Structure 1
Amino acid sequence: MMQQIYPTIPHPYAYELNKDLQFAAAHYVPAEEAGNCRKLHGHTYFANITVAGDTLDSAGFLVNFSILKRLIHERFDHTVLNDDRESFDDQHPDRFPTTEVVARTICDIVQRYLDGTENKPRCLQVYLRETPTSYCLYRPKAGDGR
């Protein structure tokens, strides 16, 4: 993966880590306004996940990088995103597998895992590049339950 500088978010935490990963997946956007994106097509997605916290776990990690990769790569790589009915839905626009919704979904998956850890770090942002010229940055709002 090409090294890249990502937008940062100010935060009060002592530690911040970033995990880059990629996955290949197909999708379609079931909306008339999506134009050609209504047709099944694929991307090689590049993601950067930012996690921050004040306390390390018993292994000295904020979170193990390999866990972040497993959570996202193993779930989405070489899939049709629309088939993941736990995450996406063809009836509700806020659950169509657009870049925005996929970024939010990645954040939610990571945060659910982090909530179950002893040190409880936070997923502060997900940067998701869908094409060489298009990306989305998702940052959960404080207190939104994500």
Structure 2
Amino acid sequence: MLQQIYPSVAHDYSYELNKDFQFAAAHYVPSEDAGKCRQMHGHTYYANVTVAGDELDRSGFLVNFAIIKRLIHDRFDHSLLNDDTESFSDELPERFPTTEVVARTIAELVQSYLDGTANRPHVVQVFLRETPTSYCLYRPKRKAAVNDER
């Protein structure tokens, strides 16, 4: 994968980690308004996940790069995204496997893992390129801090 510069997201965390990876997947968008995208077709998606936080884990990582890739690549590579009914739906437009929804889903899957870690970093951006000329940025809204008494 060639080095690429991604739009950056402003945050006040001490550490920021970026992981690039790609996966090949097919999909279709089950909407009358989707035009040619209503037909099943495939892409080689290029993704960049940006994770930020203030604490490193016991290995000195914000999160291990390999875990981010494994969470997404192993799930979606060489698949029909529409078949992943835990992530996508043919009935609910907010869960159609569009580039926007796939980017949001990547953020949700990675964040779900991160929420179970001791240092609890945050996904702050997902960049997802679907074609050489089309991409999407997804930036999760930052949740209000919760006073966590442990």
The one-letter code matched in structure 1 to 2:54 is D
The one-letter code matched in structure 2 to 1:140 is P
Paired with 2:55 and 2:18, the residues of 1 have a C-alpha distance of 16
Q: Aligned ranges for residues 14-53 of structure 1 at < 5 Å?
A: 14-53=14-53
Q: Secondary structure at the match of 2:110?
A: helix
Q: Secondary structure at the match of 2:5?
A: coil
Instruction: Give the TM-score of the pair, scaled to structure 1.
Output: 0.97
Q: Secondary structure at the match of 1:120?
A: coil
Match of 1:97 in 2: 97
After the TM superposition, list the runs of 4 or more consecutive aligned residues in structure 1 that deviate by more than 3 angstroms: none
Number of equivalences: 144
Paired with 1:141 and 1:54, the residues of 2 have a C-alpha distance of 18
Q: Secondary structure at the match of 1:52?
A: strand
Deviation of the 1:130 alpha carbon = 0.1
Paired with 1:76 and 1:41, the residues of 2 have a C-alpha distance of 14
The one-letter code matched in structure 2 to 1:100 is E
RMSD: 0.8
The one-letter code matched in structure 2 to 1:2 is L
Match of 2:81 in 1: 81
Match of 1:108 in 2: 108
Q: Secondary structure at the match of 1:51?
A: strand
Paired with 1:95 and 1:133, the residues of 2 have a C-alpha distance of 23
Q: Secondary structure at the match of 1:42?
A: strand
Match of 1:119 in 2: 119
Encode CA deviations 1:3-50: one digit per residue, 9 max, x unaligned.
Answer: 100000111100000000000000000001000100000000000000
Deviation of the 1:121 alpha carbon = 0.2
The one-letter code matched in structure 1 to 2:57 is D
Q: Secondary structure at the match of 1:37?
A: helix
Match of 1:12 in 2: 12
Paired with 2:2 and 2:91, the residues of 1 have a C-alpha distance of 36
Deviation of the 1:142 alpha carbon = 1.6
Match of 1:70 in 2: 70
Instruction: Give the TM-score of the pair, scaled to structure 2.
Output: 0.95
Paired with 1:105 and 1:97, the residues of 2 have a C-alpha distance of 9
Q: Secondary structure at the match of 1:19?
A: strand
Uncovered stretches (5+) of structure 1, i.e. residues with no partner: none
The one-letter code matched in structure 1 to 2:110 is V
The one-letter code matched in structure 2 to 1:36 is K
Deviation of the 1:2 alpha carbon = 1.0
Paired with 1:6 and 1:14, the residues of 2 have a C-alpha distance of 19
Uncovered stretches (5+) of structure 2, i.e. residues with no partner: 145-150
